[in-house]
């Protein structure tokens, strides 16, 4: 084994055109692998040996038996001069195959679910596509629920995910470049893009980033995201993760790139701006008035989710003169008998909510939601009755929790869970001045953040300078007939999505 894996020369070498030596190599390389099947048999002449090697559980053995082994056993190969050509063109009854020359390619194909056919007297091996991966079928998305629109979602099956995209865009200009990432896992990854819409410089940058991925195993798109992002120290995601095929297809038609990673029930879209995280799937399937109202609600909820607890701490702890007299008396009455400071009240309730949230995620089935609701009610009421927290703190924390769930993207919403604690600490140390200073620092950070060369705050930042009028689909959504232009990062000269007809211009 050391001779095989300790020295790359052996595994990267070509097959030797010697059945005994080639078969001995695979026997040695796959030794102690109980899930490997090596089926040795003779061709129809009773002299020519052949063997098929595959992984039990990843391969459709019945297809292999019916369309590969049986035809070989019925044909005479001993007198054929070019056996490989004869086998490929006249014997095999499956059309999805390819010839392999190196040991490395052969092993990778076997471990990817394909079957390898070695025939005595053939200078190359034949890799047969007989994959039959275990997995779940296409179901409904669990994170991006919609009232109107498609309900199907991506699965862990790589080929199913690419098919779901291809089903929606029946255009030969939709390209899918396949590669493998992970030194040992050899995970399939597809770079999907519209050939006439994607910016060539962006595509070259993504290809280079993918080639630079160096890790033993890649098991989900989240690992690819962390390895490819430019700034790993920001909590804000620089990729958009989605489980919805229609959202991925829509991104492709805007000139964006989609990364499909095997074993991941979602895909990655790039580049991304902050406004895209507030767009829901059904925004484009309902009336623009309803969609605009819902989107404004999400933006407002995001601000509350980040800053509401910190604002309460700053005002109640330092600047009570900012409150109207009636409201101030109500707060004072609610805090009657409370001995701990305001900041500890808020932190105690926020910590309790985060515990219940994590418990609800990891407890299986419907019991998780029940534990979260019942635990929140019981613990919150018990804390109020015990005099640890005031009722107004319970209201503040509950309102913040509800607001954080309104953001339709989970990875973007999770950022608010972290930032709200920073605002609480800043408000506890410096009052409203620390609160506003941290808000300014946050805006400055977002203003200088980029996603593959695209400003994160576009079009709020640099939009006017770059001539970008994407505000028709930012805070509100205009009617579809008014959304004529694609985003700024679409290839130059291809930004017009919908041309006005003479009839529309007259109307």
Q: What is the pLDDT of residue 2?
A: 45
To the nearest whole percent, how much of the chain has pLDDT over 70?
90
Q: What is the pLDDT of residue 176?
A: 94
Assigned domain for 112 exists: yes
CA distance 16 to 20: 10
Query: Is residue 55 domain-shared with residue 12, that is, in the same domain?
Result: yes
Q: What is the pLDDT of residue 430?
A: 92
Burial class for 156, CB neighbours closer than 10 Å (0-12, 13-18, 19+)? middle
Rounded average pLDDT over 445-460: 87
The residue with greater pLDDT, 36 or 146, is 36
Q: Cis peptide before 110, with omega less than 30 degrees from 0?
A: no
Report pLDDT digits (tens) over 329-352. 877 777 777 778 888 888 988 888
Rounded average pLDDT over 221-237: 91
Confidence of residue 9 (pLDDT cuts 50, 70, 90): very low
Rounded average pLDDT over 416-431: 91
DSSP letter assigned to residue 15: P
Query: Is residue 314 domain-shared with residue 406, that is, in the same domain?
Result: yes
Assigned domain for 479 exists: no
Assigned domain for 87 exists: yes
Query: Is residue 314 domain-shared with residue 234, that is, in the same domain?
Result: no
Assigned domain for 229 exists: yes
Name the pairing type of β-strands 97-100 and 125-128: antiparallel
Query: Is residue 256 domain-shared with residue 319, that is, in the same domain?
Result: no
Candidates 455, 454, 484; CA nearest to 469 is 484
Query: Is residue 23 domain-shared with residue 120, that is, in the same domain?
Result: yes
Report pLDDT digits (tens) over 182-196. 888 889 999 999 999
Q: Give yes or no for residue 74 having a pLDDT over 70.
A: yes
Query: Is residue 449 domain-shared with residue 302, that is, in the same domain?
Result: yes
Query: Is residue 315 domain-shared with residue 450, that is, in the same domain?
Result: yes
Candidates 180, 264, 161; CA nearest to 219 is 264
Which pair of tokens denotes residue 202? 């962006």
Looking up tokens 């925004």 gives: 283
Least confident of 14-18, 282-286, 344-348, 481-485: 481-485
Q: Give yes or no for residue 11 having a pLDDT over 80.
A: no
List the domain range (segments joined by +) for residue 23.
2-128
Assigned domain for 93 exists: yes
Q: Give yes or no for residue 423 having a pLDDT over 70.
A: yes
Q: Cis peptide before 264, with omega less than 30 degrees from 0?
A: no
Query: Is residue 262 domain-shared with residue 187, that is, in the same domain?
Result: yes
Query: Is residue 308 domain-shared with residue 448, that is, in the same domain?
Result: yes
DSSP string, 394-424: HHHHHHHHHHHHHSS-HHHHHHHHHHHHHHH
Rounded average pLDDT over 438-454: 91
Assigned domain for 151 exists: no
How many independent structural domains does the chain possess?
A: 3
Mean pLDDT value across the chain: 83
Confidence of residue 503 (pLDDT cuts 50, 70, 90): very low
* pTM of the complete model: 0.85
Assigned domain for 483 exists: no
Looking up tokens 């190969």 gives: 77
Query: Is residue 322 domain-shared with residue 221, that is, in the same domain?
Result: no
CA distance 98 to 165: 25
Query: Is residue 436 domain-shared with residue 321, that is, in the same domain?
Result: yes
């Amino acid at each position: 084994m050391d001779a095989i894996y300790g020295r790359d020369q052996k595994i990267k070498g070509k097959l030797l055109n010697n059945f005994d030596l080639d078969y001995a190599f695979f026997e040695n390389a796959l030794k102690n692998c109980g899930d490997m099947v090596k089926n040795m048999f003779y061709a129809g002449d009773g002299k020519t040996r052949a063997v098929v090697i595959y992984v039990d559980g990843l391969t459709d053995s019945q297809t292999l038996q019916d369309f590969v082994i049986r035809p070989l056993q019925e044909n005479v190969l001993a007198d054929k001069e070019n056996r490989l050509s004869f086998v490929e063109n006249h014997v095999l009854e499956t059309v999805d195959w390819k010839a392999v020359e190196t040991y490395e390619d052969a092993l990778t194909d076997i471990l990817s679910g394909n079957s390898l056919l070695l025939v005595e007297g053939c200078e190359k091996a034949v890799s047969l596509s007989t994959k039959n991966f275990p997995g779940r079928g296409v179901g409904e998305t669990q994170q991006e629920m919609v009232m109107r629109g498609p309900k199907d979602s991506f699965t862990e099956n790589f080929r199913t995910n690419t098919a779901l995209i291809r089903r929606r865009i029946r255009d030969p200009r939709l390209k899918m470049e396949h590669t493998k990432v992970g030194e040992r896992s050899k995970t399939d990854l597809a770079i999907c893009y519209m050939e006439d819409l994607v910016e060539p410089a962006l595509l070259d940058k993504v290809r280079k980033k993918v080639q630079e991925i160096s890790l033993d195993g890649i098991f989900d798109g989240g690992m690819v995201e962390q390895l490819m992002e430019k700034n790993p120290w920001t909590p804000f995601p620089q990729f958009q993760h989605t489980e919805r095929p229609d959202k991925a297809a829509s991104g492709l038609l805007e000139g964006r790139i989609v990364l499909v990673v095997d074993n991941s029930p979602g895909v990655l879209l790039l580049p991304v701006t902050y406004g895209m995280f507030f767009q829901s799937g059904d925004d484009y399937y309902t009336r623009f008035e309803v969609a605009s109202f819902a989107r404004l609600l999400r933006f407002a909820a995001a601000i509350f989710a980040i800053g509401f607890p910190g604002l309460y701490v700053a005002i109640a702890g330092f600047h009570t003169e900012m409150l109207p007299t009636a409201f101030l008396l109500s707060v004072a009455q609610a805090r009657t008998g409370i001995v701990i400071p305001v900041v500890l009240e808020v932190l105690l309730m926020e910590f309790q909510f985060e515990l219940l949230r994590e418990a609800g995620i990891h407890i299986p089935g419907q019991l998780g939601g029940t534990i979260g609701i019942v635990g929140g009610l019981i613990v919150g009421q018990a804390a109020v009755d015990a005099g640890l927290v005031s009722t107004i703190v319970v209201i503040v924390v509950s309102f913040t929790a509800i607001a954080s769930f309104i953001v339709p993207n989970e990875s973007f919403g999770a950022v608010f869970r972290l930032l709200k604690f920073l605002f609480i600490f800043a408000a506890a140390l410096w009052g409203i001045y620390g609160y506003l200073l941290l808000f300014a620092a946050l805006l400055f950070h977002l203003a200088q953040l980029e996603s593959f060369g695209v400003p994160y705050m576009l079009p709020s930042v640099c939009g006017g300078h770059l001539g970008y009028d994407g505000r028709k689909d930012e805070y509100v959504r205009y009617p579809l007939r008014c959304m004529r232009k694609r985003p700024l990062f679409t290839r130059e000269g291809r930004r017009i999505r919908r041309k006005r007809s003479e009839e529309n211009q007259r109307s």
